[in-house]
Amino acid sequence: MPEGHTLHRLARDQQELVGRRVAASSPQGRFAEGAARIDGRAVEQVGAVGKHLLQHFDGGLVVHTHLGMRGKALRFQPVSGEPLRQVRLRLHTGDLAWDLIAPATCELLTEGEVETLRSSLGPDPLAADSGAERAIANLRASGRSIGEALLDQSLIAGVGNVFRAEGLLRARLHPATPAAEIPLDRLRELWDVLQRMMRQAVDDAEIRPKLVYKQPVCLQCATEPATPVLHWDLRGRTAYACPSCQPAPAAA
């Protein structure tokens, strides 16, 4: 599933739409009514929060997109030919087009509904205003392991399985560690790690390097021979840990 950096990178790339009127269509037909309502309107703002893309149009209408597992946005310039039939939403300015394919969510919201969405999410490490202390308080109050809590978007927004694995490795925290038992300075370090990784991933348009996620051995570890990476199911998602870099808590 695309993680927060993907949506923030997409929002950055789509700044080229701001101030321009778009021809909106839904070749697939599933967003035909919504496309008709924004057709001919000007894009006022494009932003992201967590794993959500928000395209604001004049008149107070907002297209809310969540890519889910398979969604993607494709850019075309110049535009030649008709869009693919599976395109949920095409935004066409005349010289360029953005096509949205296979999103989990593509819906039209009011500004008030956008605020409701925002209030349902935890702090985003990629947001301009740092919500570190609120995120830390959310994690500690969750009553869950740090590995479980990091994927709860109501606690912290934008972190997915890759950032969870790589962030916990770099912060030297085992996924099974109860969040409430982690010292505040270690949680602040984890937040800082996630911020650095996610900002770099926005610039790179990918998460790299992957030192533990889907790796047979830990690529951070200085041991010889290299330490095999442990992986297991954690509430339906695969968790990863290096037993050398991330010692398990006593009860794990």
18-37 as b/e: b if 16+ CB within 10 A: eeeebebbbbbeebeebbeb
Whether 212 and 241 have beta carbons less than 8 Å apart is answered as: yes
Q: Is 206 a catalytic residue?
A: no
Active-site hit among 3, 83, 164, 170: 3
Edge-to-edge order in the sheet of strand 72-76: 23-25, 87-92, 97-101, 72-76
Among candidate residues 9, 51, 90, 140, the one labeled active-site is 51
**Between β-strands 23-25 and 97-101, what pairing exists: parallel, antiparallel or unpaired?**
unpaired
Give catalytic status of residue 3 as yes or no.
yes
2 is catalytic: yes
Is residue 113 part of the annotated active site? The answer reads no
Choosing from 30, 144, 172, 237, the catalytic residue is 237
Active site residues: 2-3, 51, 237
